[in-house]
């Protein structure tokens, strides 16, 4: 997917021949449920063009004189950096409210609606990270500029799910037909839930690998089964390693276990090593939302199937595509 074309897109052509190109214009981006197959196709095509632009020239002046307010009530260097770089590579600027908000006046008494209605006077788009579920929707309700949800606690983190899915497409050339295994904490893992939701737009086989106490929530399992998907749950990654086209790994936190002996007993079921990957397909990818803390050994990094840092890079392209799609009106 990444072969360089001689003709790279510019400000005038970047939206050319993209079906449904105004689908996101001035829209909030709050949840993965907003995205159907057609919208995903559009977004991923635009993200792929962003990749070409960045690789060829570093950026493109689509959002000159536009301002993004990055309002992070909890620090997230990875996510805020990604949005900041995305805006800057589009020629735009950022108000970085990304560190120490908890100490600032924003959080001293002022309500989220008032903060949002203040920032929209300065900025064209608000990217919000907030510890409370539903906060992004609240912000979007009050704001007249688009709000992008960069994580609302146990709620959603839609741009992570989008970059995950885009990574599968970029790495494997397709999504339909793949066998996708999710490994680790499937109960509390916000990213695996959102990714699973998005995958229901595609024709895939799903394998869920987790300890008993961290199984995929019942309602999501039922949704997947009712939709007729080939889905299987197991306790041990070894059972799926041979068939997986995508191994999506998340961390199993020790703290989730009341019985630490149990944790010690199962933890190796969810750790990715070169030995494990020896049983994997030659063409497959290992993904991880990062940061990792031991669940993928460093020796795996050298394996060409280790896609987690390329996954981070795709976050840049997806966020560039989203910002451009939200703030630019393509020609009719």
Task: Give contact residues for its own copies (rule: CB under 8 A).
Answer: 57-60, 64-67, 69, 75-78, 81-82, 84-85, 88-89, 91, 93-97, 99-101, 103-106, 108-110, 113-115, 117-119, 121-124, 290-293, 298, 309-310, 312-313, 315-316
Catalytic residue among 79, 98, 159, 250: 79
Residue 288 marked in a binding site: no
User: Is 256 labeled as ligand-binding?
Assistant: no
Residue 21 counted as an annotated binding residue? no
225 has catalytic annotation: no
User: Rounded to whole angstroms, how far apart are CA atoms 221 and 206?
Assistant: 10
Instruction: State yes or no: cis peptide before 173, omega within 30 of 0.
Output: no
Supply the minimum distance, in Å, between the C-beta of residue 266 and its own copies: 21
The DSSP output letter for 58 is S
Active site residue 79: yes
Query: Smallest distance from the beta carbon of 184 to its own copies, in angstroms?
Result: 16
3-state secondary structure of 318: helix
* CA pair distance 257, 213, nearest whole angstrom: 8
The whole-angstrom separation of Cα 26 and Cα 330 is: 12
137/103 Cα distance (integer angstroms)? 24
Helix, strand, or coil (residue 136):
helix
Q: Which of 37, 57, 78, 225 is catalytic?
A: 78
Tell me if residue 129 is catalytic. yes
108 is in an annotated binding site: yes
Whichever of 178 and 300 has its CB closer to its own copies, that residue is 300
Nearer to its own copies, 124 or 156 (CB): 124
Question: Residue 157 catalytic?
Answer: yes
Least distance in Å: CB of 157 to its own copies?
13
Instruction: Supply 124's token pair.
Output: 């064209």
- Answer yes or no: is 129 a known binding residue: yes
Report d(CA 15, CA 275) in Å as an integer. 45
Cβ–Cβ < 8 Å for 99, 76: no
First to last CA, the chain: 27
* Smallest separation, CB 100 to its own copies (Å): 4
How far apart are the C-alpha atoms of 29 and 158, rounded to whole Å? 8
Strand 125-130 versus strand 179-183 pairing type: unpaired
Element (DSSP H or E) covering residue 131: none
CB of 236 to its own copies, least distance (A): 25
Q: Which is nearer to its own copies, 81 or 234 (CB)?
A: 81
Catalytic residue of the set 129, 130, 193, 319: 129
User: Is 108 annotated in the active site?
Assistant: yes
Catalytic residue IDs: 78-79, 108, 129, 157
Annotated binding-site ranges for carbamoyl phosphate:
78-79, 129, 157, 160, 290-291
Annotated binding-site ranges for L-aspartate:
108, 190, 251
Annotated binding-site ranges:
78-79, 108, 129, 157, 160, 190, 251, 290-291
């Amino acid at each position: 997917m990444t072969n360089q074309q001689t003709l790279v897109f510019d400000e005038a052509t970047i939206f050319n021949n993209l079906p449904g190109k105004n689908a996101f214009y001035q829209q909030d981006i709050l949840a993965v449920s907003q995205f159907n197959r057609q919208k995903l196709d559009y977004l991923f095509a635009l993200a792929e063009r962003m990749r070409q632009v960045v690789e060829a020239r570093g950026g493109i002046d689509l959002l000159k004189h536009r301002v993004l307010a990055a309002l992070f009530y909890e620090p997230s260097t990875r996510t805020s950096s990604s949005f900041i770089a995305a805006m800057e590579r589009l020629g735009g600027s950022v108000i970085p409210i990304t560190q120490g908000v908890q100490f600032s006046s924003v959080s001293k008494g002022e309500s989220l609606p008032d903060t949002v209605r203040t920032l929209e006077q300065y900025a064209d788009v608000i990217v919000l990270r907030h510890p409370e579920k539903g906060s992004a929707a609240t912000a979007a309700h009050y704001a007249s500029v688009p709000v992008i949800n960069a994580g609302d606690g146990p709620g959603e983190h839609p741009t992570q799910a989008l970059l995950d899915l885009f990574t599968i497409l970029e790495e494997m050339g397709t999504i339909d037909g793949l066998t996708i295994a999710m490994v680790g904490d499937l109960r509390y893992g916000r990213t695996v839930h959102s990714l699973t939701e998005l995958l229901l737009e595609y024709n895939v086989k799903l394998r869920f690998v987790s300890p008993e106490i961290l199984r995929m929530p019942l309602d999501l399992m039922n949704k997947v089964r009712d939709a007729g998907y080939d889905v299987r749950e197991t306790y041990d990654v070894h059972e799926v390693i041979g068939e997986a086209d995508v191994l999506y790994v998340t961390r199993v936190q020790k703290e989730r276990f009341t019985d630490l002996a149990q944790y010690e007993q199962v933890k190796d079921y969810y750790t990715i090593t070169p030995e494990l990957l020896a049983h994997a397909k030659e063409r497959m990818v290992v993904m991880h939302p990062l940061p990792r803390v031991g669940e993928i050994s460093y020796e795996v990094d050298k394996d060409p199937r280790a896609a987690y840092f390329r996954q981070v890079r795709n976050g840049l392209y997806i966020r560039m595509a989203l910002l451009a799609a939200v703030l630019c009106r393509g020609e009719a």
